[in-house]
Structure 1
Amino acid sequence: ISFSLAPGERVGLVGPNGSGKSTLIRLVADLLQVRRGSVTIDGRPNHTRASREQLCYIASNDTLPQFLTGREYIELMHRLYRTTPDAAAVDDLLDRYQMGARQFDLIEDYSHGMRKKIQLVSALSLGRPLTIIDETLNGVDVDALFEFEIDAARIADDRGLLLCSHDFRLLENVCDRVIVL
């Protein structure tokens, strides 16, 4: 496969189970080693620190540190990227994703959908040049999907979005183009 994703572009990735969507995303995020070919981010090999700092990857699972609150998880993610979260922007995201009242609860008490929403809030607040979302929207409520469609349009203002989903309607609404595997 060969494709590019320009700043300001939203690209969807769709295909049947086992077609390699998650594997491709893990290769881009340098979680798997490329055996043949190459992956570059902003002209640099994806395995360099500078490339990895350019992206935020949200996995399809909802495995998060159980002993943290949602707010602590967001702050941890920002510390890992050596950034300070914009408190007002985080508060706005938490409220819009209906997590404001639960942000100080332990993640162990979150439902599956709430874990997914806290992952989204974290990624959106990080504002990396490339945001990669692998099936994270499966299991979130309709209101959160609506908010994500709004936020995806904002992502495209100056950043790239690679979105993997089986929800073709979502991909059509959010993405500039869709790659079918």
Structure 2
Amino acid sequence: MAPEDTTPPPKVVCTALAKTFGGGTEAVRPIDLTFAAGRTTALVGPSGCGKSTLLRMIAGLEPPSAGTIEIGGAPPAETRRRAGLSMAFQDPSLLPWRSVRGNIELALRLARCRVAQSEIEQLIALVGLDGFADTRPAELSGGMRQRAAMARALATRPGLLLLDEPFGAVDELTRSQLAQDLPRIWQARGTTTILVTHSVSEAVCLSDRVIVLSARPAEIVDDIRIDLDRPRLETTARSDAAALLIDRVFAALASGMAAARPPVAAQ
């Protein structure tokens, strides 16, 4: 069954979490990090620094080389089995032969979640695709496909939502609109959300907290609390308060690039 709205969102605890790939490439140095329940946290850092690797380890898609991950006290594999987490990527990866509704229904079936058809229709309308439920991906714009992918990720009502550059493959105007519309859904549900993005302004405007990572191998450079009023509007990024936070993130990124130590090769 799909989780109910009353299911408390999970806290995510990473303890001494590290990743070294075959050949000795060190991607993530041991990290201790706790993601607060029901909050949105953004991970930013230079390209190739290990942000997506960290996210994939939390999702249970990539085994860590060391350390542990607990999602509401359970390991990622158990959380995935009970449909407690969903992940959305830069590429929507919708099945081309299925409609918007069909892609959502398949995700629910694979997660063994039973949801009333009326709830699926409500979700489709909620992401701004009312009237397109029976449309196939090839007939949708890039932004509409990303909305469909987000509906699919949210359909199981996951307690944890992992987003890897979800708005990265669309034009700037569409990206801005998606960033306005979609976060309201998971924030209204109180979902614990971890967002990887290359956009500093997006990180500041969407999240409650920004974790800045160094160049590879990833280490935490700064942990920034975002105290901006909600709801966040399109004008939020142009406010003086947001500008100060954006400057701090950029300064931390520069510091992380300058202080990055060379990766250690496995012996």
Which TM-score applies when normalising by structure 1?
A: 0.86
Q: Displacement of 1:108 after TM fit? A: 3.0
For 1:26, the aligned partner's letter is R
**1:6-29, CA deviations, whole angstroms, 9 ceiling, x for partnerless residues?**
321211111111111111111111
1:171 is matched with: 203
- Whole-angstrom CA distance in 2 between matches of 1:65 and 1:115: 11
1:1-181 → structure 2 map (5 Å cutoff): 1-46=31-76, 48=77, 50-52=78-80, 53-138=83-168, 139=170, 141=174, 142-156=176-190, 159-181=191-213
Q: Percent identity?
A: 27
Q: For the residues of structure 2 that align with 1:124 and 1:154, how far apart are their CA atoms?
A: 12
Q: CA deviation at 1:147?
A: 1.1
Structure 1 stretches of 4+ with a deviation exceeding 4 A read none
- The answer on whether the counterparts of 2:107 and 2:152 sit within 8 Å (CA) in structure 1 is yes
Change (3 A) 1:2 1:83: same
Tell me the alpha carbon deviations over residues 74-93 of structure 1, each in whole angstroms, 9 at most, x when there is no partner. Answer: 11111122222344443344
Give deviations 1:43-83, integer Å, cap 9, x for gaps: 2222x3x2213210112222221111111001111112222
Corresponding residue SS for 1:101: coil
Which structure is higher in RCO with an 8 Å CA cutoff and minimum separation 6? 1
Greater CA deviation, 11-20 or 133-142? Answer: 133-142
Shift, 1:112, TM fit: 2.5
Letter in 2 for 1:167: S
Q: What is the deviation of 1:96?
A: 4.2
Of structures 1 and 2, the larger Rg is shown by 2
Task: For structure 1, list consecutive stretches of 5 or more residues without a partner in the other structure.
Answer: none
CA-to-aligned-CA distance 1:96-150 (integer Å, 9 cap, x gap): 4332222211223333322211011122232111011111122272333211232
Q: Which deviates the most, 68-77 or 147-156? A: 147-156
Residue 42 of structure 2 aligns to a residue whose secondary structure is strand
The answer to whether the 8 Å contact 2:162/2:194 transfers is yes
Give, in whole Å, the separation in 2 of the partners of 1:96 and 1:144. 12
The answer as to whether partners of 1:130 and 1:160 remain within 8 angstroms in 2 is yes
- Name the count of aligned residue pairs: 177
Contact kept, 8 Å, 2:165 with 2:197, in 1: the verdict is yes
Give distance in 1, aligned partners of 2:183 and 2:94.
24
How far apart in 1 are the matches of 2:68 and 2:103?
Answer: 32
Cα 1:6–1:86, aligned 2, differ >3 Å: closer, same or farther? farther
> Which structure features the higher share of helix residues?
1
**Normalising to structure 2: TM-score of the pair?**
0.61
Does the CA contact (< 8 Å) of 1:155 and 1:161 recur in 2?
no
Taking only aligned residues, the RMSD between alpha carbons, in angstroms, comes to 2.0
Structure 2 stretches lacking a partner, 5+ long: 1-30, 214-267
Q: Name the one with the larger strand percent.
A: 2
